[in-house]
Amino acid sequence: MTSASPLSHVEAAPADPILGLSAAFARDGNPDKINLGVGEYRDVRNDTPILAAVSTAQTRILKSETSKRYLSIDGSPEYGAVVRDLVLGNNFGIEDERCAVVQAPGGTGALRVAGDFIHTQLPGTRLWLSDPTWANHPKIFSAAGVETAEYRYYDAHAHGLDYDGFRRDLEKVPAGEAVLLHGCCHNPTGVDLQPDQWDEIGGLLAARGVLPLVDFAYQGFGNGLEEDAAGLRMLARQVPDLFVANSFSKNFGLYRERVGALLAVTESAEATANVLSQLKICIRSNFSNPPAHGSAIVTEILGDPALRSQWLSELTVMRDRINGMRALLVERLEDRGVAKGSFDFILDQRGMFSFSGLSPEQVDRLRKEYAIYIVDSGRINVAGITLDAVDYLCDAIASVL
């Protein structure tokens, strides 16, 4: 290599804390290996199948589509309308003109658009993240040039919400700054706000003039499609302005199709139009315009009553299986002599993830000695546990405790 090589100084980056685990898992030759890292749903056979409603919609689209022309910068208006109804509800009471929806490649794409918007339109604004939060959040916003700060959220000792700390920290966020909230199924803890807490936080943010950005990637995986949206809808009724980054990776199983959206609600039709025009600038210089296939599938399903009801049943099956695995995990750990009740907090958590309380050393031992892959923070993807694997998993956890 000559010293003139412009790339010779580039250092190796660390593996991604979540997707890097999937790569390491793929290389692992242990036949008993279990991947409980990345948030992907697995069925009883340990597969992540294409939902039946998705297959039907996809077949229809492939038969009827006649062109691969570009979508517009903000994506398909039909898709925007179904997303708005699903997230905010169709009797929401916010006039359509006050809510703009831009299509984005997954929830990550939507968050990045929000980050680019904050960086360009609200320069110097800090974005407050929960402690802990999804490992990719700080990276997305740092790449967009947005400074982040942390608010208290999780009480590790009680395995629950530190509501007092959370509220006090939000009271300290300066006016005009932004706060990222998890709409439901908090990632990584699975610990959510209760309705009265959403109500109080909404009032507080409105009074302080703080801008909420809600990450809403798991609608339907917590308590139900409408139930999971109740908190953010309550918030939207209180604050003048709000962003929501949504994703259909999990609830439609469309992971690799990259389907999501960013919703912007403001006080007036005029402000919304202005925000939308700036969001389009952010999109154009990033991914130019969104991919069409996955969003067409979502639009087809939500617009067809029979397909919609089939999808809702499939979503219920996924949610019920996750909650069943939570109960089984706790039961089988207790069978192995783990103190009764000591893992009951897992039953109260919601969504795909359980913040197990396992230490990084214990996580490391699980990986090295048992080929069980979970995130260093101790986050377990409960949606990845199967009946075939649960005993091996619980034996391994009991042995490292």
Nearest to 253 by CA among 27, 31, 58: 58
CA separation for the pair 216, 91 (Å, rounded)? 19
CA separation for the pair 183, 221 (Å, rounded)? 11
Task: Name the closest residue to ligand LMR (Cβ).
Answer: 39
Strand-pair category, 353-355 with 372-373: unpaired
Q: State which residue, 99 or 374, has the beta carbon closest to ligand LMR.
A: 374
Q: State which residue, 134 or 166, has the beta carbon closest to ligand LMR.
A: 134
Please report how close the Cβ of residue 250 comes to ligand LMR at its closest, in angstroms: 8
Please report how close the Cβ of residue 109 comes to ligand LMR at its closest, in angstroms: 11
Q: State which residue, 274 or 286, has the beta carbon closest to ligand LMR.
A: 286
Please report how close the Cβ of residue 25 comes to ligand LMR at its closest, in angstroms: 13
Query: Which two tokens mark 229?
Result: 């949206």
Could you tell me which residues come within 8 angstroms of residue 338 by beta carbon, excluding any fewer than 6 positions away? 398, 401
Nearest to 128 by CA among 237, 211, 206: 211
Strand-pair category, 34-35 with 178-182: unpaired
Q: Let me know if 134 is a catalytic residue.
A: yes
Please report how close the Cβ of residue 148 comes to ligand LMR at its closest, in angstroms: 17
Q: Let me know if 192 is a catalytic residue.
A: no
Please report how close the Cβ of residue 46 comes to ligand LMR at its closest, in angstroms: 17
Q: Check if the beta carbon of residue 278 is closer than 8 Å to that of residue 266.
A: no
Could you tell me which residues come within 8 angstroms of residue 4 by beta carbon, excluding any fewer than 6 positions away? none
* CA 26 to the chain's CA centroid: 23
Q: State which residue, 117 or 134, has the beta carbon closest to ligand LMR.
A: 134
**Dihedral angle computed from the Cα positions of residues 364, 138, 228 and 276, in that order, rounded to the nearest 10 degrees:** -150
CA separation for the pair 131, 128 (Å, rounded)? 9
Q: Check if the beta carbon of residue 61 is closer than 8 Å to that of residue 293.
A: yes
Q: Let me know if 250 is a catalytic residue.
A: yes
Q: State which residue, 135 or 206, has the beta carbon closest to ligand LMR.
A: 135
- The CB density around residue 196, as the number of other CB atoms within 10 Å, is 9
Please report how close the Cβ of residue 94 comes to ligand LMR at its closest, in angstroms: 28
CA separation for the pair 203, 223 (Å, rounded)? 24
Q: State which residue, 202 or 260, has the beta carbon closest to ligand LMR.
A: 260
Q: State which residue, 120 or 136, has the beta carbon closest to ligand LMR.
A: 136
Of 33, 74, 250, 311, the catalytic one is 250
Please report how close the Cβ of residue 311 comes to ligand LMR at its closest, in angstroms: 20
The total number of residues shown for the chain amounts to 401
Cis ω on the peptide bond leading into residue 360 (within 30° of 0)? Answer: no
Kindly write down the DSSP assignment for every residue of 189-242, as one continuous string. Answer: T-----HHHHHHHHHHHHHHTPEEEEEE--TTSSS-HHHHHHHHHHHHHH-S-E
Of 169, 192, 215, 241, the catalytic one is 215
Of 128, 134, 198, 311, the catalytic one is 134
CA separation for the pair 362, 300 (Å, rounded)? 45
Residues that bind ligand LMR (CB under 6 A): 18, 38-39, 134, 136, 187
Task: List active site positions.
Answer: 134, 215, 250
